[in-house]
Amino acid sequence: MVLLVGLLSGGVFIPHAVAFDFFGLFGRDETPPPPNADTLPYSLDFAVAGRDRKIVQILKDVSTLQSLKNDPPPDADALVRRAEADLPRLNDALWGAGYYNARIAITVAGVPLTLQALRPEAATRAATFYRSRALVPIQVAVDPGAQFVLRNVTVLDARTGRPFLPNELPPRIARIGPGDAARAADIVAAQARIVDHFRAQSRPFAKVTEQNPVVVHPAHVMDISLTVDPGPQAGIGEITVRGAENVDPAVVRSFIYTDPGDPYSPAELASMRKSILSIEALSSVRIREGEMLDAYGNLPLFIDITERQPRVIGASVQYSTTDGPAVRAYWAHRNLFGGAERLRLEGSLFYLTENGGRLDDDDEFDWDDLGGRFRASFLKPALWGTRNDFLAEALVERERTEGYTSRLVNATAGIRHRFSETFSIQGGIEYEKGQASDVLGQVDYTLVGLPLSVTYDSTDNTLDPTRGMKLLASVTPYPDFLGSSVPMTVARGTASAYWSIDDESRYVLAGRLGLGSIVGAELEEIPANRRFFAGGGGSVRGFGYRSLSPTFLGEPIGGRSLLEASLEARIKVTDTIGIVPFVDAGTAFESSFPDFDETIRVSAGLGLRYYTGIGPIRLDIATPLRRDRGDDRSFAIYVGIGQAF
């Protein structure tokens, strides 16, 4: 047996091999510059014995010759130095993949270079001959040999020198064992999982103190021994907020739901960071751990925050073949008085005709088809340093759908209490005065209500959730003794769940269920804009916006209850491209609870996702599985940012 040190032995060779270009699956190589008098461009060929495409890609990923192929050196001496620098890189890459008997030669203009025999002068002379004549031919020839496997894997406790018992370190944690490929990346990943296992047991100083790999070349095996110090168990100590220049640190602390003395865990720190980042005035949060425990055995934490620019302005344009075009602009101040108060002013314009936003050749623009919305909202988080937030909003709106036209003024104010990062409850008061008209007639109304809502959100990402659940339930009574002209109670609930099939979240199943109910008033007494409708983006895609409901004289009139459901399979084809087959279903019902007298409408479609650092850009194409007579819509297209739900 020999320790894993030193250079591999072997001579110059040119194996029987075939080079691969992967048929463009991993991106085609760009053509190098043509021969010229100023630089020395070259052609590059990877020849691997056994025709293993994975090894070719491993070599290309670390090769300087490959990455700088389109940036040729000025002379032959620089070209040979570039090739020489590649030899240890390629060797390390093959060792990391478990090929400890690999042999490598880089041939420059017919002159071979190896780790054991460098001939830079000869290679330089040979390459100089090609200046202004042809590309310098360079070949990377590799005989990887057999891939080594693990024979013995031992994890020792640094405190006792003995192996950990299965109840202390379950074998499933390391995920490596006898017979597995002896890849360096797998061994490093196993070390990280072992450390994470002990850190999750409130041991913040867990670390691998020693690793002893022993390679047995004749047998093509490796024995590996890891020594791990779990470290002491600890709680969370004093939390210090740093970097707050214009934002009150008390606001930041109100979004921390951990108290000193609580058990330490990386998951708790990740939850803490996510919660603090929900403060719109902050752009980044970094949690630093203390280097030693305090006198009580707790670990001090230091939270470094970076603030955003306080003012932001933006605009967007969207279009759906069923919902019509819309434009939106907004202005916001994210730290109005120094307590992370947010003031947001937003205006929208949208256009909808009887054909769902489409103008036929003989149609003319009609101002009556134009809708608009102006909204002003204010958020004061952490009232007096508590977990209570004050929210207020004012809204002026004119809406035009296929079923009704409405105009209204609405104002709400409320208090939200955050029990944790995932759970909150909100209550307040609402006032609305408006007018709505449809085929059933016109309703002038006043509503004064007491909205109450509960929110639970354990998802891992707002725009692209892959794990967790999201629940929102609300109920708002509008009693006549408060001044409501239509005494009724409106209840609504939405639940969505996300399940990542694999660890990398390349395959995610997502489902959504929505329910709604109005009790206390007859259908024709309820303003049309307050009734339930389904259809359109965010509901049942493929159907017109708010077009699914009971009808009268062929026009949708809305219902007193609602049922919606969606199911998506989110599949990443590459790191940036994904496809999403989906099915939506739903409709509104005349009764206060779904009685299924109305036909549940179903649509299906396929979405395309382009994943960016902000979130996925979404393109969905949906079609009804069964259309009503006279409905000429065959499909609908939706474009937006973020997943559909």
**Do 530 and 611 share a domain, yes or no?**
yes
**Do 552 and 633 share a domain, yes or no?**
yes
- Nearest CA-CA partner of 601 in 326, 322, 318, 319: 322
**Do 437 and 299 share a domain, yes or no?**
no
Q: For 291-342, what is each residue's pLDDT tens digit?
A: 999 999 999 999 999 999 999 999 888 776 656 678 899 999 999 999 999 9
**Do 98 and 197 share a domain, yes or no?**
no
**Do 196 and 293 share a domain, yes or no?**
no
Residues paired with residue 471 on neighbouring β-strands, in sequence order: 456, 495
Question: Tokens representing 81?
Answer: 């130095």
Q: Edge-to-edge strands of the sheet including 235-242?
A: 235-242, 298-307, 282-289
Looking at 254, 272, 307, the residue that finishes a domain is 307
What is the C-alpha to C-alpha distance for residues 201 and 203, in angstroms, rounded to an integer? 6
pLDDT grade for 360, boundaries at 50, 70 and 90: low
**Do 473 and 496 share a domain, yes or no?**
yes
Q: Count the domains in the chain.
A: 4
**Do 438 and 494 share a domain, yes or no?**
yes
Q: What average pLDDT does range 474-495 have in this prediction?
A: 97
Q: For 524-538, what is each residue's pLDDT tens digit?
A: 999 999 999 999 888
**Do 56 and 156 share a domain, yes or no?**
no
Cα angle: 86, vertex 147, 504; to 5 degrees: 80
So what's the pLDDT on residue 81?
A: 94
The alpha helices in 362-423, defined as continuous H runs, are none
Q: For 418-447, what is each residue's pLDDT tens digit?
A: 999 999 999 999 999 999 999 999 999 999
Which structural domain, as residue segments, surrounds residue 620?
A: 311-641
User: Is the whole-model pTM more than 0.85?
Assistant: no
Neighbours of 23 (CB within 10 A): 8
Looking at 289, 307, 325, the residue that finishes a domain is 307
**Do 419 and 283 share a domain, yes or no?**
no
Asked if 472 and 494 count as a contact pair (C-beta separation under 8 A), the reply is yes
What is the C-alpha to C-alpha distance for residues 539 and 182, in angstroms, rounded to an integer? 51
CB within 8 A of 277, min separation 6: which ones? 284, 285
Looking at 212, 229, 246, the residue that finishes a domain is 229
The residue to which tokens 């640190």 are assigned: 249
- Nearest CA-CA partner of 447 in 411, 395, 484, 413: 484
**Do 204 and 267 share a domain, yes or no?**
no
What is the C-alpha to C-alpha distance for residues 45 and 59, in angstroms, rounded to an integer? 11
**Do 515 and 604 share a domain, yes or no?**
yes
**Do 189 and 292 share a domain, yes or no?**
no
- Look up the CATH number of the domain holding residue 261: 3.10.20.310
* R_g (Cα) of the chain, nearest Å: 33
